[in-house]
């Protein structure tokens, strides 16, 4: 059986070719897909083609804007009358990038995709892998296009701008038709000029005028924040049990990687600190947006591991498809058990926190039952002679459950 064909342990078994065996293959090919089985290539294309086209169009737009010349005519100071550089923070030497932009984008995509596929060793769900990778591409593409528009229309000076510009103020001119017409030798004490006084390489000058936001940092945070959200959901780090410390390390390691990529740009003086901050903000926002589009929640531990279908709304409060699509198996996650919020016996556990309705009475659910096999906690009666006090009654879902010396969940 293929890697993506395995059914979740607590899910129904659905035969992918059952409809075809009954003579309804063509109709089944056109019907909405189920999240429990791998689709045919045609079904996948019909579900995904618009995303593919959109990403191609966005990529083309992004490249066009990336290669365009900076839009604004930006003024900058060079030196005072005595020759002192006005803004030394824009006069750093031009150094070789520690991490090139192509490598930052590659790391932000290849590492998350690799780890998503590693997760499938246990999850074994085509649609989980599909949603995770498609969501990652949502994040990376939208963040990239967003930041190139800001670079093009706003931009700013890189720390090595004056080194690249190699200004010669004797070239300044305010003659009609000059790019910086009316803005040379202007401002207080007439120390501000525009780019026509630059004598350096035009391509490098264009690049040095588009510092904000940092494209490296945008890509790194768009990819690695998304990966962190995915790992948190699949490992159930912030969930309903006490996880091992390595899981905390696992979800913060991608954030460390993103911070190191962004921080390296301040070492090689390719970006100012505020360029890095702007890129981190854009990448993080796009990562959160993309994850929520493809999964049922970002932070709600009961739902954030469940990939969403394009054709069927998720039945919040019910037992959805791929409800067991987690990597961890602790406290019943990934299988039917006490840690899992969906059970065939009790329905949605969030609606019946202390239910015992299957027996016709209102017994509390013991802690450690089911997959955990642990013990339960008891409490002593409150009040004289074991009489329950008013504080011993708890309201759950509109019904009152007397606890007394009965077993209860803490």
Q: Where are the alpha helices (DSSP H) in 183-313?
A: 202-208, 215-235, 245-267, 273-294
Residues 377 and 273 in one domain: no
8-state DSSP, 237: S
What pLDDT digit, counting tens, does each position of 79-95 carry?
Answer: 888 888 888 999 999 99
Q: Given this model, what pLDDT does residue 189 score? A: 79
Q: Per the domain annotation, does 398 fall within a domain?
A: yes
Domain enclosing residue 276, as ranges: 40-294
Q: Given this model, what pLDDT does residue 324 score? A: 83
Q: Are 123 and 231 in contact (CB under 8 A)?
A: no
Residues 172 and 252 in one domain: yes
pLDDT bucket at 386, cuts 50 / 70 / 90? very low
Pairing of strands 393-396, 399-402: antiparallel
Number of domains the chain contains: 2
Q: Does residue 355 have a pLDDT over 50?
A: no
Backbone angles phi, psi at 395, to 5 degrees: -95, 125
Helical packing angle, 273-294 and 215-235, nearest 10°: 40
Q: Per the domain annotation, does 12 fall within a domain?
A: no
Q: Given this model, what pLDDT does residue 334 score? A: 82
Residues 125 and 195 in one domain: yes
Q: Per the domain annotation, does 410 fall within a domain?
A: yes
Q: Per the domain annotation, does 205 fall within a domain?
A: yes
pLDDT bucket at 288, cuts 50 / 70 / 90? very high
Residues 97 and 198 in one domain: yes
Residues 245 and 174 in one domain: yes
Q: Given this model, what pLDDT does residue 172 score? A: 78
What pLDDT digit, counting tens, does each position of 174-198 carry?
Answer: 766 665 556 777 888 788 888 888 9
What pLDDT digit, counting tens, does each position of 336-347 carry?
Answer: 544 566 554 444
Residue 106 tokens, joined: 């590659």
Distance CA 399, CA 397 (A): 6
Other CB atoms within a 10 A radius of the CB of residue 271 amount to 27
Q: Are 331 and 241 in contact (CB under 8 A)?
A: yes
Residues 242 and 385 in one domain: no
The region, left, alpha or beta by phi > 0 then psi within -120 to 50, assigned to residue 92 is beta
Nearest to 398 by CA among 363, 364, 355, 360: 355
Q: DSSP for 375-395, please give it.
A: --B-----SGGGPPPGGGEEE
Q: Given this model, what pLDDT does residue 335 score? A: 75
Q: Given this model, what pLDDT does residue 403 score? A: 41
Rounded to the nearest 10°, the torsion over CA 169, 174, 178, 181 is 110
Q: Per the domain annotation, does 330 fall within a domain?
A: no
CB neighbours of 330 closer than 8 A, spacing ≥ 6?
236, 241, 243, 339
Residue 342 tokens, joined: 């969906």
Residues 255 and 174 in one domain: yes
Residues 119 and 197 in one domain: yes
Q: Given this model, what pLDDT does residue 165 score? A: 92
Q: Given this model, what pLDDT does residue 271 score? A: 93
Distance CA 206, CA 115 (A): 37
8-state DSSP, 164: H
Q: Per the domain annotation, does 152 fall within a domain?
A: yes
Q: Does residue 350 have a pLDDT over 70?
A: no
What pLDDT digit, counting tens, does each position of 224-257 carry?
Answer: 999 999 999 999 999 988 999 999 999 999 999 9
Residues 159 and 254 in one domain: yes
Q: For the whole model, what pTM was predicted?
A: 0.76
Q: What is the mean pLDDT of the chain?
A: 78
Percent of the chain surpassing pLDDT 70: 71
What CA–CA distances, in Å, run from 185 to 70, 89, 248, 378? 21, 21, 56, 83
């Amino acid at each position: 059986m293929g890697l993506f064909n395995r059914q979740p342990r607590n899910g129904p078994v659905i035969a992918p070719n059952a409809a075809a065996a009954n003579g309804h293959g063509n109709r089944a090919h056109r019907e909405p897909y189920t999240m429990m089985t791998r689709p045919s290539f045609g079904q996948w294309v019909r579900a995904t083609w618009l995303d593919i086209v959109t990403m191609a169009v966005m990529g083309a737009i992004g490249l066009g804007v990336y290669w365009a010349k900076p839009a604004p005519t930006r003024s900058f100071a060079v030196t005072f009358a005595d020759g002192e550089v006005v803004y030394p923070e824009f006069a750093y030497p031009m150094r070789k990038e520690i991490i090139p932009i192509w490598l930052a984008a590659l790391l932000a995509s290849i590492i998350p995709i690799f780890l998503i596929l590693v997760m499938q060793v246990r999850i074994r769900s085509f649609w989980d892998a599909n949603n995770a990778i498609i969501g990652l591409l949502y994040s990376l593409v939208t963040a990239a296009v967003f930041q190139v528009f800001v670079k093009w229309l706003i931009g700013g000076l890189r720390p090595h701008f004056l080194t690249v510009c190699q200004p010669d103020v004797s070239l300044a001119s305010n003659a009609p038709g000059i790019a910086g017409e009316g803005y040379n030798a202007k401002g207080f004490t007439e120390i501000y000029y525009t780019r026509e006084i630059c004598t350096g390489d035009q391509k490098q000058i264009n690049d040095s005028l588009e510092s904000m936001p940092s494209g490296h940092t945008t890509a790194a945070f768009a990819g690695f924040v998304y990966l962190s959200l995915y790992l948190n959901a699949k490992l159930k780090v912030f969930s309903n049990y006490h996880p091992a410390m390595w899981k905390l390390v696992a979800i913060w390691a991608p954030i460390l990687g993103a911070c190191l990529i962004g921080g390296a740009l301040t070492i090689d003086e390719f970006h100012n600190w505020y360029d890095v901050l702007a890129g981190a903000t854009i990448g993080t926002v796009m990562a959160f947006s993309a994850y929520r589009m493809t999964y049922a929640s970002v932070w709600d531990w009961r739902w954030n591991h469940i990939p969403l279908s394009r054709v069927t709304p998720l039945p919040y409060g019910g037992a959805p498809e791929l409800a067991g699509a987690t990597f961890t198996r602790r406290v019943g996650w990934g299988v039917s058990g006490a840690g899992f919020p969906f059970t065939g016996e009790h329905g949605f556990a969030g609606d019946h926190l202390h239910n015992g309705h299957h027996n016709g009475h209102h017994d509390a659910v013991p802690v450690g039952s089911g997959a955990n096999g642990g013990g339960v906690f008891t409490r002593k009666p409150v009040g004289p002679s074991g009489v329950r006090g008013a504080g011993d009654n708890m309201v759950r879902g509109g019904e009152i459950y007397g606890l007394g010396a009965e077993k209860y969940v803490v």
